[in-house]
Copies of this chain bind each other. A is one copy, B any other.
């Protein structure tokens, strides 16, 4: 037996059942235009009786603007993006918008392909991570006429709307904090930077700041693949095997930093007296560790919320800097 019921009740059938015209049903359902209370009741009764579910595909095609918002994000493993989606989806749902998404795995050419596929749904807006995109992506988005929101990175030219903060500033402040604390022999443990350009920006600004204070980075360990707690642990282990006199390590993010933290716990390396640890993101888990993680808290959920609000409100092009917060913690 096949599964094709598609009890497809149409607006026309509702109209007939209610004894009114199609447009009247449409008006009642969208609560738009004028109609009498009596008509309203008859229509609603028919809708109820027939179990009518409006067809948004048809509705969107017939009207001008769609209520779809497309997210093209690098990853779902990195909690950053679910957090952004979470912030955005609450606002979008309130405004009867619908979120659509696809995942690029940090691959710019995949981003281009997926953005193209998204555009085919004629979304009201496309939301992307960061401001680095292929030429093709930029051209396509420009030509599309739909709103474009670039998230989580303000270090570059925005196509239309940008919401987030400066990763370069985050890298700088992290370095400044460690220097202020008196650390001078600093190392870095990070994940694949070519793919995660935002982590790359933090790292390069971090290094520049160290250089400017005559305390250049002493050692680094870059692990292939995505950031993870295990990679952070492994990275610190490797770094310490090669370099014995470090007094602080900057990690590409909190996942990695937690790995480093666990490595120190396991190896009984005193934190921060023997080795300081500094992360990035300000995950909740970093606040519950025996020693709160020193890190920078980023406004991930708020980024999603604001982005969604700007789209819903059809705001003019702008860059919104939500800033970030340095959490002193107890590991640095």
Contacts and interface: CB of A to CB of B under 8 A. Distances in A.
A164 interface: no
A7 interface: yes
A289 to B, nearest CB: 5
Interface in A65-92: 66, 76-77, 79, 81-83, 85-86, 89-90
Interface stretch (A56-64, A178-186, A320-328): A56-64
A100 B103 contact: no
Contacts of A58: 61
Nearest to A90: B103
A76 B301 CA distance: 11
A257 to B, nearest CB: 12
A228 B285 CA distance: 8
A81 B76 CA distance: 10
Contact of A290 (B3, B82, B160, B266): B266
A8 B143 CA distance: 9
Interface stretch (A13-21, A114-122, A168-176): A114-122
Interface in A25-68: 51, 53-58, 60-61, 66
A144 B53 contact: yes
Nearest to A55: B122
Contact of A229 (B79, B101, B285): B285
Given A51-B143, A57-B66, 15 more contacts: A5-B145, A51-B140, A53-B120, A54-B120, A61-B61, A76-B82, A76-B83, A77-B82, A77-B86, A79-B82, A90-B103, A93-B114, A228-B284, A232-B288, A259-B288
Interface of A: 3-8, 51, 53-58, 60-61, 66, 76-77, 79, 81-83, 85-86, 89-90, 93, 96, 98-103, 114, 116-117, 119-122, 140, 143-147, 160, 228-230, 232-233, 255, 258-259, 262, 265-266, 284-285, 287-290, 317
13 contacts: A7-B143, A56-B120, A56-B121, A57-B57, A57-B122, A79-B79, A89-B102, A93-B102, A98-B117, A100-B101, A229-B287, A232-B288, A265-B265
